Amino acid sequence: MKKNTIFFKTPYFTRDLTVKKNAFFKKKSIIFISGITILFNKFCLNLKNLKSMSQEELLVLIYKKDERAFTHLYDMYSKSLFSVINVLIRNREEAEDVLQEVFVKIWKNIDSYNESKGRFYTWILNIARNTSIDKLRSKDFNNSQKNLPSDNFVHLLDDSNKLVNRIDTIGIQEFVKKLKPKCIEIIDLLFFKGYTQQEASEELAMPLGTIKTQNRNCINDLRNYLKI
C-alpha cells in the first residue's frame, strides 16, 4: 500500500512540471514565429520593389490612382525625367520645381494618355520637355539663365558631388564617356532637347537620314553594353 501511494503521487507532480514547460515553450515559439513572419514579409516586399515593373503593370495600377502606383511611377521615371529637365533648365532649384509640376500634371491628366498614340514613357517625356520649355519662356524665370551657353547632358556629371550613392550608375556614365562625341551630340539633341530630325541635321550639319541611323547605332552600342 505504501508503494502505491508514492506511485500515484509521482505522475501528478511530473505532469504539472511538463505542462508548465510546454506553456513556456509555446510562448517562446510564438514570438519566434512572429519575428520570422515579419522578416519574411519584409523580404517579399523588398523583392517586389526591387523587381522593376513593366509599363503595362504600372498602368494597371495607375488607372486606379493608387498611391503605390504613384510611388512606382516616381521610382521608375523621376530620375530619367529629372535629367532631361536639368539639361533644359540648367538650374537645380528650378528643375526641382519643374519636376514637381511634371508629376502633378502626369497624375492629373493620366486619363488623357492614349496607348494607341505611343508609349507611356514617351507621353511623360513630352510632358517633361513641354513643362521645361514653358518654364524657360515664362516671365518669372530668371532671365540670366536663358542666355547661358547650352551644355549637353554629359555636363550633368560635372556636378559630381551631387552624384553620391549612385554606384549603380557609375558604369553607364563611364560608358558614355567612351562614346563617340557624335553619339553624345545626337542623343543630347534628339532625346534630351527634343530636337526634330530636321533641327538636329541643321545643328550638326549632317544629312537628315544619317541622323536617324547614327542615333540607332549609338543606341545599339548602349544596348550591347547594357545587354538589352
Contact in structure between 151 and 193 (CB atoms under 8 Å): no
Measure the CA–CA gap between 108 and 65, rounded to whole angstroms. 10
User: Quick one: which of 73, 77, 99, 78 has its CA closest to 88?
Assistant: 99
Report in angstroms how near the CB of residue 49 gets to another protein at its nearest. 11
Interaction residues for another protein, span 12-51 (CB under 8 A): 14-15, 18, 22, 25-26, 29, 33-34, 36-37, 40-41, 43-45, 48
What is the C-alpha separation between 80 and 110, in angstroms, rounded?
A: 19
Q: Site for another protein (CB under 8 A): which residue of 9, 20, 24, 92?
A: 92
Task: Kindly report the backbone phi and psi dihedral angles of residue 183, in degrees, each rounded to the nearest multiple of 5, phi listed first.
Answer: -60, -45
Angstrom distances, CA of residue 73 to CA of 54, 65, 129: 11, 11, 17
Find the binding residues for another protein in span 67-86 (CB under 8 A): 67-68, 70, 74, 76-84, 86
Q: What does the per-residue mask of binding to another protein show for 97-136, with x meaning CB under 8 A?
A: --xx--xx--xx------xxxxx-xxx-xx--x-------
Q: Which stretch binds another protein (CB under 8 A): 3-11, 133-141, 142-150?
A: 3-11
Least spacing, CB of residue 140 vs another protein, in Å: 19
The Cα–Cα gap between 130 and 136 comes to: 10
Of positions 146, 166, 177, 180, contacts another protein by CB under 8 A: 166
